[in-house]
A and B are shown apart, each in its own frame.
Chain A
Amino acid sequence: MLRFATLRLGRAAITIALVVTFAFVVLRLSGDPALIILGPEAPPEAIAAFRKSWGLDASIFVQYVDYFGAILRGDLGRSMRDGRPAILLVAERIPATLALTLPALAIKIGIGVPAGIYAALHRGGPVDRLVMMLAVAGFTVPSFVLGLTLVLIFSVQLGWLPSGGQESWRHAILPVVTLGTGGAAILARFTRSAMLEVLGQPYIRTASAKGVAWRAVVTGHALPNAAIPTVTMVGFMVGSLIAGAVVVESVFSWPGVGRLLVVAVANRDLAVVQCILLLVAGTMVASNLIVDFLYGLLDPRLRAGGRAGAH
């Protein structure tokens, strides 16, 4: 177990180091923050002063070594836009993002999983066709198109809900529905496929032949076995909680981490971008670890370290 955890954590650390390095190289080689933040009409002496102040006049290698060293010391740097610690800026935005992504995750799981199960249990029927039609539509329509369509209907035409902003819970409804719809569609398709595969297995037929009630067959045998791909997908969605709403936050003017990331990348505000990337990478790694452990709970063969499959 210790070896398993050490290996996973080591891999996670390498992944994060690569992400940080990649982002640094791409951002620093593709634009000068001084010129971007101060603008093309800024006096040359102002740009020079800005560069000197933030160490941008040093060689790219020196900047990288300084930056990486600071991260190892736990210093994630300061925003070049307002001089505050990057971690503070990001932390301020996390609640706003979670206010969208957590309810959206509940919608994804609450609608997607039951819809997928129901469709699988009624394969070929009108409900299955309807669910799959909606799922394909939800999966293929880009979130900005769905978001703007919802605004046109519920804000412009009906006047029921605000079109953007973050003033009250009513402002969250449309972005949460936009975020939740696509995810629910994905989960419905995954769950249906997994269920159909499991329902065709011999042990399901055996259980039915033994006279086990169909409800018990589904809940006791089919669902746990079909859960693994669904858990994988849910794990990915949990990992995207922090930065998974970039487009929706822009469409609905929601001041979350996604919007901060867009603005920080556009301004080459390196410390803020890196801070968000570290957070996202950390969340994703933690989510993957949890999913790995859940696999073990759901499948005894995996709990035995894969040895069960060798017998």
Chain B
Amino acid sequence: MTHFSRRDTLRLGSALAGGLALPRFAIAQADNRPSITIAVQKIVNSNVLDVLREQSNVGERVFFSSLWEPLITKNWQGNLERQPGLATEWRRIDDQTVELKLREGVKFHNGDEMTAEDVVFTFGRERMFANTEAKNRSTLKAFETIPAPRPGKELPPEIPAVARRAWPDLLRVEAVGKYVVRFYNATPDVTLEGRLSRYGSDIMSRRGWEEAATYLDWARKPITTGPYKVAEFRPDHSLTLVAHDEYWGGRPPLRQIRFVEVPEVASRINGLLSGQYQFACDIPPDQITGIERNVAFEVQGGTILNHRLTCFDKNHAQLANPLVRRAFTHAIDRQAIVDSLWAGRTVVPKGLQWPYYADMFHADWSVPDYNPKLAQDLLKQAGYKGDPIPYRLLNNYYTNQVATAQVLVEMWKAVGLNVQIETKENWTQIMARGPERAVRDWSNSAPFNDPVSSIVNQHGPNGQQQQIGEWRNDEMNTLCEFLETSTDRAKRKAAFRRMLEICEREDPAYTVLHQNATFTAKPKALKWKASPAFAMDFRPGSYGA
């Protein structure tokens, strides 16, 4: 009989423990992927990582394409054109119905496989719509039971409103098979595929939602399909994402991505130069030259899906005459603003549209030309006598906002417009109704590749400008409804052009100044290419390649 002494037992135990520990150690050693730290001005505004609550540019940066993914995605490394995401293919059943085939083998961060059930839940009442109804719903509500939210899982009130704005006529989503879903709309809509690719249409794990004790618990650590999963989120301080090694698109190239909130631009740049951060975001254009003076660093980035506008209140005594507003639009040398304040690193776009509209894009359209003589003539025709026109201004809410405003005022002054800046503290003061409201700044985005997402949503009957009583045009409103429901692409394109003519030339609601841009500084040695968006792409093939 073999005897084991206490020493032998200890040796055996140590060997076993070592044997168990060694493979793990070896795995840890094998994971030599780099970790990076990204300094941003703000991680998210709403303190949650929910795509329906955090609808902001800063949110886009941390969400896409690291954390959240939609069925149809954008080509972040290209020109944002549509491409398969969590769905591999899709087809139209009719003008109101789209069927999508889901990608098989997609794993959520909790290890579950994504199925049609998760997609149906994502677009359901519990997560998205609560008790709101499709705008043109024709079926009887009485046949459907609206479940009461579970305690602690009540949606913040703005979420159903945001979801309905994104999907105004979505009736329901059905699982046709384990990997097939159908989206049913109440009205014909050619933009359904575009809406599927928009910010907020991203897929979440049903089990992840159900296992969270409260909405806040879930929203601080959502279970999604992205290449990185949330390890730790400290609101107003940091967000740590770690690699999701079961990612359907391959092994993520980074072990960890850490976003840290550094509100001061000087601190972000100092942290980058000292090597504490690998990326410094939200770099103002006037800092680019200083950073690139150091040959080891470069500033990447450029235009994003957002245009800066000047908006008009046509109820103001001086602006009621469209000739005066037209004079405003022709008095602006937009290229001078781009060259002097943006170091030429953005562009003057072709009105309120983006090339990714594809067949809806009017390549031959342009913003009103810079023509001071024409502006002066228009003011003369309008009988403008030099009465003051207030310009409500925030202190650099937008990059270069104050400097741009000062340049604009001088340009307007040169043609005879007496525009006076009134500095305000916040948007409430900017939008406050009254006879003194005349000119203000704004920016517009295009969440998906159709003018419904921009000119209709922002300047149509339900858009902010009309809702706060700044501007209204009956023909424009009729065209908005047509654009939302028509399936005749040629007629839709013609209608969009007419809308541009109304809003930018005949009865100006706004005038586009320039495309917005964002800049990110990094060491040249890091192989990474910025997307034409706020989103930062760290998927396989997008970093270190």
Contact = CB atoms under 8 A, between A and B. Distances in A.
A38 B234 contact: no
B261 interface: yes
Contacts of B275: 159
A200 B254 CA distance: 69
B267 A164 contact: yes
Contacts of B442: 40
B161 A48 contact: yes
Contacts, number: 140
Q: Which residue among A43, A47, A49 has the maximum number of chain B CB atoms within 10 Å of its CB?
A: A43
B237 interface: yes
A251 B260 CA distance: 13
Nearest to A52: B157
Contacts of A36: 426-428
Given A31-B428, A35-B428, A152-B270, A40 B464 contact: yes
Contacts of B237: 166, 253, 255
What size tier do the contact residues of chain B reach?
Answer: 35 or more
Q: Which residue among A42, A53, A144, A162 has the maximum number of chain B CB atoms within 10 Å of its CB?
A: A42
Contacts of B160: 49
Contact of A41 (B55, B428, B429): B55
Interface string B204-246: 0000000000011000000000000000001111100000000
Given A40-B464, A81-B47, A46 B263 contact: no
Given A35-B427, A35-B428, A148-B267, A43 B274 contact: no
A52 B160 CA distance: 14
Contacts of A45: 161, 164-165, 462
B377 interface: no
Q: Which residue among B266, B276, B425, B464 has the maximum number of chain A CB atoms within 10 Å of its CB?
A: B276
A44 interface: yes
| B interface SS class | mixed
A163 interface: yes
B407 interface: no
Contacts of B464: 40-41, 44
A26 to B, nearest CB: 11
A74 interface: no
A52 B156 CA distance: 11
Contacts of A32: 426-428
A43 B162 contact: yes
Q: Which residue among A163, A255, A262 has the maximum number of chain B CB atoms within 10 Å of its CB?
A: A163
Nearest to B219: A82
B264 interface: yes
Contacts of A250: 263-264
A32 B267 CA distance: 30
A265 B445 CA distance: 27
Given A41-B444, A43-B161, A259 B260 contact: no
A39 interface: yes
Interface string B257-275: 0001111101100110111
Contacts of A37: 45-46
Contact of B274 (A81, A84, A159): A159
Q: Which residue among B55, B234, B236, B238 has the maximum number of chain A CB atoms within 10 Å of its CB?
A: B236
A177 B458 CA distance: 49
A50 B260 contact: no
Nearest to A252: B267
A163 B271 contact: yes
A292 B69 CA distance: 61
B537 to A, nearest CB: 23
Contact of B264 (A53, A156, A251, A260): A251
8 contacts: A31-B425, A44-B462, A53-B157, A83-B156, A148-B270, A253-B263, A267-B45, A268-B426
Given A253-B264, A267-B45, 12 more contacts: A37-B46, A38-B55, A39-B56, A44-B464, A45-B165, A81-B45, A81-B46, A82-B47, A83-B156, A83-B216, A163-B267, A250-B264
Which 4 A-B pairs have CB atoms at the shortest separation, nearest pair first? Answer: A46-B161, A255-B237, A53-B157, A31-B426
